[in-house]
Amino acid sequence: MAFASSDSPGDPGLAAAAVKILIAGGFGVGKTTMVGSVSEIAPLRTEEVLSELSTGVDDLTGVEAKTTTTVAMDFGRITISPELILYIFGTPGQDRFWFLWDELARGALGAVVLADTRRLDGSFAAVDFFERRQMPFVVAVNCFDGAPTYTTDEVRQALDLDDHVPVNLCDARHRDSGKEVLLVLVEHLIQRARAELVQN
């Protein structure tokens, strides 16, 4: 999804390009936190309290203190420049809500796959989702306090990522860190578009 938007905060005569992107990943990796930290508007959240009904269904290993979960999506917006506005959709992380991912991915130009080094295996399904759909994505390792520390090359190798997929370290709690990840994704999308033009 890329279209002209009239709600540009800059010159009222300037139409900004609006781009839809996804923040995806496994359960408890920080998707809701990232959407909230980068959004310039109050984010829309669909969080519910984890209850006894999720016992045995949601794996809380490594995130035992987690008390809420996204059941549909998160939504936010960030103006990268007067010419570019990103509409950000955060996906739910639990397997039972993955049927929503196809709907959320419709019209998206790219995605950020958030990863947690405490449970890196939880990132495989998200990486596979975007690879199968040939949707450009970047991987952002959310550096949780006390989590094992790895280099981006080690993460790339562990997730078996192609060389062209950018990998960054980030802290989803901080706006500047999240914005940097989004800028890396935008640059990746531009490079992909240019490469396709050259090929054609």
Q: Note the pLDDT tens digit of each residue in 61-81.
A: 555 555 555 545 789 999 988
CA separation for the pair 146, 165 (Å, rounded): 26
Contacts of residue 15, defined as CB under 8 A and 6 or more positions apart, other chains included, come to 4, 5, 6, 8
173: pLDDT strictly greater than 70? yes
Indicate the pLDDT class of residue 187, thresholds 50, 70 and 90.
very high
What tens digit of pLDDT does each residue of 4-44 get?
555 545 555 556 789 999 999 988 899 999 999 999 998 87
pLDDT of residue 41: 92
pLDDT of residue 47: 58
Q: Are the beta carbons of 31 and 23 closer than 8 angstroms?
A: yes
pLDDT of residue 8: 47
3-state SS record for the chain: CEEEECCCCCCCCCCEEEEEEEEEECCCCCHHHHHHHHCCCCCEEEEEECCHHHCCCCCCCCCCCCCEEEEEEEEEEEEEECCEEEEEEECCCCHHHCHHHHHHHCCCCEEEEEECHHHHHHHHHHHHHHHHCCCCEEEEEECCCCCCCCCHHHHHHHHCCCCCCCEEEECCCCHHHHHHHHHHHHHHHHHHHHHHHHHC
% of the chain exceeding 70 in pLDDT: 76
